[in-house]
Amino acid sequence: MRWTHRLPPDTADDARRTRRRRTASWQRHLRIALLALVALVHLPGLGGEPPLVEAQSGTGSIRGRVDIRRIVSAPQARPNVADLSAQAKIEAHDLQRAVVFLDAPDVPERSPLRAAPRGTPVRARMDQRNETFLPHVLAVTTGTLVDFPNNDQTFHNVFSLSKTKRFDLGRYGRGEQETVRFERAGIVRVFCDIHSHMSAFVLVFNHPFHTTTADDGRYRIDNVPPGTYTVTVWHEGAARDSRSITIPATGGVMDVDLLVQ
Amino acid sequence: MCRCVLLAASFLIAVAAHAAAQGLPSEPLAFGDGRVVLGGDVTATIAPSDPGFFTYGTYEHSSLRELRMSLSARIRANSRLSLLAEVRSQNLEVTPFALYARIRPFESAPLDIQVGRIPPTFGRASRLLYARDNPLIGLPLAYQYLTSLRPDAVPATADELLTMRARGWLAGYSVGNASLTAGVPVASAFSFDTGVQATSAWRRITLSGAVTSGTLSNPRVADDNGGKQVQARVTVRPAPGLEIGSSFARGAFVSRAVLRSLDQPLTDSFVQQAYGLDMEYGRRHWLVRAEGIASEWRIPLGTTTQPLRTSVGSVEGRYAFLPGMYAAARLEHLAFSRIHGSSATLPWDAPVTRLEIGGGYYIRRNIVARGSWQLNQRDGGRIRSASFGAAQLLYWF
């Protein structure tokens, strides 16, 4: 401790300081021991709360490419013959994105595939731009807060009547945003009450083993505990293809290509 | 007709239940990469009979007792040319409703020209023709209630006109077509006019203008008097969620047959001229609309030209109190100018006040069950007051 060198030497004070230093040192050691004990209790297989999975030597990754051959027309505005038109252009939809997720019917209840994640809620974003929800498909984990900012000149009214999450954010304008927390796993269809051609999907999972495909259809799911899973691809309203896969105890990267047709 | 509507309602409920389970289309049907888009509406509405004809938009059909189906199509030839059409049926009576070409002459400029049987330029409620845009079951008075005026028959005297007060559902006059038939509303919501329309938008302003064959209250496929109607509308969005509109219309109203029988020249004297002011404001779960229309018909009455004025005001609100559930209300009044008869000075038609309160529940996004209660008060006629409860099931894609 540098301050001891700066103070003048005094025998009585020195003795008191030595006692204090010894007490502080003992308290420090006690604190370290307690922390170590707490850490040990929380390590898998060492008591306290049961582990989510058996201790494994490693985790695996699943990667591949989703080939979407199914032709999906972009949502169209309803033909409104009462419309005087001169309307703004509607942005093209990103309909070529799919969601890949893992399912494991045989995995015990306490597996990460069954347990809802804890901790600070994650935030995600679904924009409203040119009378389109962007992205068109959003995959989130339960507890995620999804922001719905409006970047259009007109008002939007985001709502959903899905059983998984029923909400109505009301009308709000450019520069404003509303947030929805998705607590339950399931599929949530999102619409705008003002613009009937606006629609999107929020897929809510109670585990983190899901991802949205990239522009070229590639995907990757990391940190998958060893076990046997079903890899499923979901596209525009339904599961389209699935494969069974086993991550060995040694972990590793598994390649799984999927087809949507 | 009631049995027909009940049957239709049962069918629609069955369809709704099936749709909930199986998934009938909830989006418009698109073919050829969006070149052809089809949309549809089905509404089944039931209510007690209306012997006072408060809710009739034609002599045959009450807006509260009908099965209405519409199929609309948009065919996109290229980025500059589209064809729009709609066929409607009211209680299984099919009529072509709209058929026009939409041309965008400049790819980059927001200017659209519509030619054919085109939508009304005038007013706000005329833009809300589909049941999903109407928070209540009843239609606004200005667009539905039948006045005693007719373009193909006119009264010979002021007394003859006054005898038809509150008889707009079946009016008859001694000059022109002698048969009894329904009068006209202030602005028709049941048929489209024929002509050319141009619309352009610039920032917060949208301008529209049209030249058509008929008039605001009597849209026509073919011209019946050689006079054209001019309509104009401007809308401004001064703040987010707020839109204010102003409209104007002027067109020859009285038919050629009437003028010939009166030995009147085919001049532009016998016109309908209307001004409108409207607003819509929406914020969070509230939506408020208001509209006022002042209309004047100039008709030959004996040897004179009689200006017959009417003014109508309407204010409605909607509040979504839960996801998929809302409550709404509308208050309206339709007033008429006074004319001198031989024994009394009276409004030329009986003024009407209407209050409608209701709500809706979204079974699915595109299947809505609605209920409303409507109170009508009229200062004239055999039946001066009537209230109805009505229920409606609406499906659209």
Judge residue B263's burial from the number of C-beta atoms within 10 Å of its C-beta, 0-12 exposed, 13-18 middle, 19 or more buried: exposed
Partner A contacted by B317 (CB < 8 A): no
The interface pTM score, or ipTM, of the predicted complex is 0.83
Q: How many angstroms separate the CA atoms of A172 and B282, rounded?
A: 8
A60-75+87-260 CATH choice from 2.160.10.10, 1.10.10.10, 3.40.630.10, 2.60.40.420: 2.60.40.420
**The domain that contains B40 carries what CATH number?**
2.40.160.10
How many domains does the structure of chain B reveal? 1
pLDDT tens digits, residue range B34-55?
Answer: 899 999 999 999 999 999 999 9
CA distances from B187 to B97, B166, B211, B291, B316 (A): 16, 17, 16, 12, 18
Q: Which residues contact B123 (CB under 8 A, 6 or more apart)?
A: B142, B143, B187, B233, B245, B247, B276, B278, B291, B293
Residues of B in contact with A77 (CB under 8 A): 28, 37
Residues of B in contact with A197 (CB under 8 A): 27-28
CB B127 within 8 A of CB A82: yes
Q: What are residue B183's phi and psi, to 5 degrees? A: -80, -165
CB B232 within 8 A of CB B225: no
Higher pLDDT among residues A252 and B48, named by residue: B48
Q: How many angstroms separate the CA atoms of A258 and B348, rounded?
A: 74
Closest partner residue to A85 (CB to CB) among B27, B112, B286 is B112
Residues of B in contact with A74 (CB under 8 A): 30, 34
CA atoms within 13 A on the CB side of B214: 25
pLDDT given for residue A159 in this prediction: 97
Judge residue A237's burial from the number of C-beta atoms within 10 Å of its C-beta, 0-12 exposed, 13-18 middle, 19 or more buried: exposed
Alpha-carbon gap: A176 to the closest alpha carbon of chain B (Å): 11
Q: List the single best residue of B42, B74, B364 to mutate versus A (max A Cβ within 10 A).
A: B74
Which helix or strand (DSSP H or E) is residue B397 part of?
A: none
The residue in chain B having the minimum alpha-carbon distance to the alpha carbon of residue A162 is B364
Question: What is the token pair recorded at B229?
Answer: 């109607």
DSSP A90: P
Locate the domains of chain A by residue range: 2-42, 60-75+87-260
| Residue closest to B185 by CA, chosen among B355, B346, B312, B331 | B312
pLDDT given for residue A227 in this prediction: 85
Q: How many angstroms separate the CA atoms of A85 and A82, rounded?
A: 9
CB B391 within 8 A of CB B12: no
In the predicted model, what is the mean pLDDT of residues A37-41?
Answer: 38
How many contacts (CB atoms, under 8 Å) link A and B?
Answer: 119
Least confident of A44-53, A207-216, B222-231: A44-53
CB B327 within 8 A of CB B136: no
Q: Do B38 and A79 touch (CB under 8 A)?
A: yes
List per-block mean pLDDT (blocks of 10 residues) for chain B, which spans 397 residues: 53 57 77 91 95 90 92 94 94 91 90 95 88 93 96 94 94 93 91 95 93 95 88 94 96 91 78 97 96 96 87 98 96 97 94 98 94 97 95 95
Q: Which residues contact B218 (CB under 8 A, 6 or more apart)?
A: B151, B184, B188, B253, B272
Helices in chain B by DSSP H: which ranges?
A: 2-22, 141-144, 158-163, 256-261
Q: List the single best residue of B22, B36, B37, B319 to mutate versus A (max A Cβ within 10 A).
A: B37
Q: Do B323 and A76 touch (CB under 8 A)?
A: no
CA atoms within 13 A on the CB side of B13: 11
Alpha-carbon gap: B288 to the closest alpha carbon of chain A (Å): 12
Core vs surface per residue B223-257: b (16+ CB within 10 A) or e: bbbebbbebebebebeebbbbbbebbbbbbbbbbb
CB interface of A with B, residues 162-191, below 8 Å: 166-168, 170-174, 189, 191
Q: How many angstroms separate the CA atoms of A123 and A81, rounded?
A: 40
Vertex A117 angle, CA A114 and A123, to 5°: 130
Q: List the single best residue of A85, A128, A168, A190 to mutate versus B (max B Cβ within 10 A).
A: A85
pLDDT given for residue A68 in this prediction: 87
What DSSP string describes B146-177?
--S--SSEE-SSHHHHHHTTT-TTSB--SEE-
Q: List the single best residue of A84, A157, A160 to mutate versus B (max B Cβ within 10 A).
A: A84
pLDDT tens digits, residue range A87-111?
Answer: 665 666 677 789 999 986 555 556 6
pLDDT tens digits, residue range A161-190?
Answer: 999 999 999 999 999 999 999 999 999 999
CB interface of B with A, residues 117-146, below 8 Å: 119-121, 126-130, 132
* pLDDT band at A134; cut points 50, 70, 90: very high
Beta strand A218-224 with B229-239: parallel, antiparallel or unpaired? unpaired
Question: What is the token pair recorded at B105?
Answer: 């002459």
Closest partner residue to A86 (CB to CB) among B74, B110, B364 is B110
In the predicted model, what is the mean pLDDT of residues A101-128?
Answer: 72
Q: How many angstroms separate the CA atoms of B270 and B248, rounded?
A: 17
Residues of B in contact with A165 (CB under 8 A): none
pLDDT given for residue A47 in this prediction: 34
pLDDT given for residue B209 in this prediction: 97
pLDDT tens digits, residue range B339-365?
Answer: 999 999 999 999 999 999 999 999 999
Closest partner residue to A166 (CB to CB) among B39, B126, B324 is B324
CB B122 within 8 A of CB B216: yes
Higher pLDDT among residues A57 and A184, named by residue: A184
The residue in chain A having the minimum alpha-carbon distance to the alpha carbon of residue B196 is A84
For chain A, give the mean pLDDT. Answer: 77
Q: Do B111 and A86 touch (CB under 8 A)?
A: yes
Question: What is the token pair recorded at A96?
Answer: 């070529």
Vertex B177 angle, CA B172 and B178, to 5°: 50
Question: CB count, 10 Å around CB of A12?
Answer: 7
Domain encompassing residue B371 = 2-396
| Token pair 């029988």: residue | B261
CB interface of B with A, residues 182-221, below 8 Å: 192, 197, 199-201, 206, 208
The residue in chain A having the minimum alpha-carbon distance to the alpha carbon of residue B209 is A84
